[in-house]
Amino acid sequence: MRRLVSPRLISSMVVVLGACSDAEPAPACKPQELVVVASDYTSSGVGGLAGTQCDLKFGTDLGKDPLLVRSRGRTFLLARGINDQAIELDGSCGYPIAKRSIASDGATGTSNPQDLAVTGAGALWVPKFFRPEITIVGADGARDRIDLSSYDADGNPNASAIRILSVAGREKAFVALERLDNRSTELPANQTALLVRFDVATRKAEQVSELAGRNPFGLMVEAEGGLYLAAPGNFNRTDEADAGIVRYEPDTGASRLVVGEAALGGSVVQIAIDGTCGAAIVADPTQDVNRTAVVLFDASTGVASHTYAAPLYGPTSGYDLQGLTFTESTLFVGDRRRGDGGYPVHRFPRLAGCRV
């Protein structure tokens, strides 16, 4: 059963991020069910959702194209814009408590940070899509970078997701490389994608693995001892043999296609997993339209219980569904189409098994 939450979009900036500092404590804030980030690609908002109420605070300091990430129990908004910043949020309510530049040295404009992971020592590791590097910002503010240019013949392997895990008692960073063709404005996914394992202490690459799916898109999901990635391949096709949802084994570097995009009926945009219950937003191949729908799959067997042809929700009329997460056995789905009273967040309570 689906319930709607319609947050009202607030046009003025209520929280002044310019006043935040690394030492500023968050004020007392009421814990929320979910932290929500929204954007109209001019300004962005962040806040909390509780029940059917969502309170968002808007401001240009949040960037035009925000990304919400969690690592090591900490919540960050990546403000991608003129000056890329990581804004740490109170994870219980979404209140900004600190900010730090994650811009690449010498860069003008955004380097398009795609994700963020926190080490045990508090350093931020940030993969960049527009520049061949991982930017590292230490807890003390010290900066470093890992050069990734050698992983693609065109000089930029288009780094996307990152996770930091403990393997045999040592911290390892797992970084997905899309390896798109940057010589074309269409950025086709013609090459095999890679996942590179770095030792965090030495910052050296230890293992380079070919992924079973092309174009690892969006954030990784850690579940059942593995890392899951959306791998849509090219968005103008939904029948590619090496596109779908991939599981990567951190211990061995092996990967396999859990379920192909042909079985799901669309290119996979984003995934969420609760136990072995998986949900995904998929898109159809219509150019400049890419209608979206929510599908369900078993993360252990790959069997799809809902597909694009018979979705849990959708299809929409365009590329509308963005944002997907499980929390306390409830699936939340963001929607960019305006409804009565605002822009909806769809809520699907999860029942026994993988029934939603």
Query: Letter for the amino acid at 124?
Result: L
What is the Cα–Cα distance from 216 to 230, expressed in whole angstroms? 6
Indicate if 223-356 has the same CATH topology as 102-210.
no
Closest CA to 33 of 239, 257, 330, 248: 330
Coil, helix or strand for 40? coil
Q: Write b or e for each residue in 190-209: b if 16 or more Cβ atoms lie within 10 A of its Cβ, otherwise e.
A: ebebbbbbbebeeeebeeeb
Give the domain ranges of the chain.
1-100, 102-210, 223-356
Q: Give the confidence band of 105 by pLDDT, cuts at 50, 70, 90.
A: confident
Q: Report the side by side order of strands in the sheet with 255-260.
A: 217-223, 226-231, 244-248, 255-260
Architecture of domain 102-210: Beta Barrel (2.40)
Quote the percentage of the chain above a pLDDT of 90.
69
* pLDDT over 70 (residue 227): yes
CA–chain centroid gap for 22, Å, is 24
Give the mean pLDDT of 339-355: 81
Architecture of domain 223-356: 6 Propeller (2.120)
Confidence (pTM)? 0.90
Q: Which two tokens stand for residue 214?
A: 């092309």
Q: Give the confidence band of 16 by pLDDT, cuts at 50, 70, 90.
A: very low
CB 43: neighbour CB atoms within 10 A? 19
Closest CA to 39 of 18, 19, 68, 14: 68
Distances (CA, A) of 213 to 221, 231, 240, 241, 282: 15, 5, 9, 8, 15
Residue reference for tokens 């949900």: 279
* pLDDT over 50 (residue 11): no
What is the Cα–Cα distance from 324 to 356, expressed in whole angstroms? 14
What is the Cα–Cα distance from 254 to 281, expressed in whole angstroms? 25
* Beta pairing, strands 53-59 & 255-260: unpaired
Distances (CA, A) of 121 to 23, 117, 162, 304: 18, 11, 17, 40
Q: Give the confidence band of 144 by pLDDT, cuts at 50, 70, 90.
A: very high
What is the Cα–Cα distance from 234 to 113, expressed in whole angstroms? 21
Going by the DSSP 8-state scheme, the letter that residue 153 receives in this structure is: T
Residue range 53-88, pLDDT digits in tens: 777 776 667 888 889 999 999 999 999 876 899 999
Give the mean pLDDT of 171-190: 93
Coil, helix or strand for 316? coil
Coil, helix or strand for 150? helix
* pLDDT over 90 (residue 21): no
Total residues belonging to the chain: 356
What is the Cα–Cα distance from 201 to 120, expressed in whole angstroms? 10
Q: Give the confidence band of 22 by pLDDT, cuts at 50, 70, 90.
A: very low
Q: To which H or E segment does residue 264 belong?
A: helix 261-264
CA–chain centroid gap for 199, Å, is 23
